Amino acid sequence: MTTILSIQSSVAYGHVGNSAAVFPLQRLGVEVWPIHTVHFSNHTGYGAWRGPLMAPEDVRAVLTGVQERGALAEVDAVLSGYQGGEQIGEVILDAVARTKEANPGAIYACDPVMGNAASGCFVHPAIPVLLRERVVPHADVITPNQFELGFLTETDPGDLGSTLDSVEQVRAMGPSTVLVTSVLRPDRPEGTIEMLAVQGDGAWIVQTPHLPLKANGSGDVTAALFTAHLLDTADAGVALGRTVSSVFDLLERTHESGRRELQVVQSQAQIANPRMQFAVEKVR
């Protein structure tokens, strides 16, 4: 059985961070051990929230407790998302180092959350530097959106060629596999959006309709599903197709519901059994 150690935020109401990633992974049959970096009432997009930001030493203590059970040897991947501060980043890197010492075959999958094309960069100015210089070089898999890819590489990816060039620049930093979400090529058909995956010498892209909604937590679900499918298949193209299929169904159901929060539980059948309704195109 695949086991993932997921170090992310948590909310009581709604689905972001671990509250978005854990259940979809469990529906895929993955064992998930969540370590929370915050426990808020709701995600911060509402403008108001309550609850604690976990002190780095408390997050590290939970990690140490898991290690003391001898459990890190069972971990196939460490997954991380939004990093609220530099100290949490160091705790995550410590978790990766401890896990890889216990299981040299484990991977680190990092979603380098910084912002998006619509909102710009919404994290503390130190975070992009931390991700670029300290975190990404230790990652085996990263899942930036196109905007974050540009931030990491200090480039401006736009068309397919420039996006692939930026991917190669970020792979030179350390990661072997890159999933680029929210790819908005200037020459794409109107009303579409794409995801691009690169692994080894291969690159694959999938195009879907662009649904008109802001879905907090969709990147967290995407990173989790892609990591799980990659561990299961060792094939980024297959993992891309499965991930896109499930995420589109999730977003479509959320849009149709008229609700702000992702309809994760309501979409569990499509998460567990992706419909594979979109073609995966090999572009390299």
| Domain total in the chain | 1
Alpha helices in the chain (DSSP H): 18-27, 56-68, 86-102, 126-130, 146-153, 160-171, 218-233, 236-257, 268-272
Question: How much is the pLDDT for 121?
Answer: 78
* CATH number (domain holding residue 183): 3.40.1190.20
pTM over 0.85: yes
Q: For residue 282, is pLDDT > 90?
A: yes
Backbone φ and ψ for 70, nearest 5 degrees, come out as 75, 20
Give the pLDDT band (50/70/90) at residue 10: very high
pLDDT of 124 over the 90 cut: no
pLDDT, residue 157, reads: 97
Residue written as token pair 């109401």: 13
pLDDT digit string, tens, across residues 157-174: 999 999 999 999 999 999
| Of 156, 76, 142, 92, nearest in space to 113 by CA | 142
pLDDT of residue 6: 98
How does strand 107-110 pair with strand 77-80?
A: parallel
Judged against a pLDDT cut of 90, whether residue 128 lies above it is answered with no
Over residues 47-80, the pLDDT tens digits come to: 999 999 999 999 999 999 999 999 999 999 999 9
CB 81 within 8 Å of CB 148: no
- Residue-level pLDDT at 117: 74
81 phi and psi angles, rounded to 5 deg: -125, -130
Task: Dump pLDDT digits (tens) for 220-259.
Answer: 999 999 999 999 999 999 999 999 999 999 999 999 999 9
- Cα–Cα distance list, 26 to 20, 33, 102, 238, 265 (Å): 11, 10, 23, 19, 11
pLDDT computed for residue 137 by the predictor:
97
The Cα 272–Cα 210 span in angstroms is 23
Radius of gyration of the chain (CA): 17
In terms of residue numbers, what domain contains 118? 3-282
Please report how the helices 160-171 and 146-153 are oriented relative to each other, as an axis angle in degrees rounded to 10.
50
Place of tokens 């999958």: 109
What is residue 84's predicted lDDT score, i.e. its pLDDT? 75
Q: Is the pLDDT of residue 122 over 90?
A: no
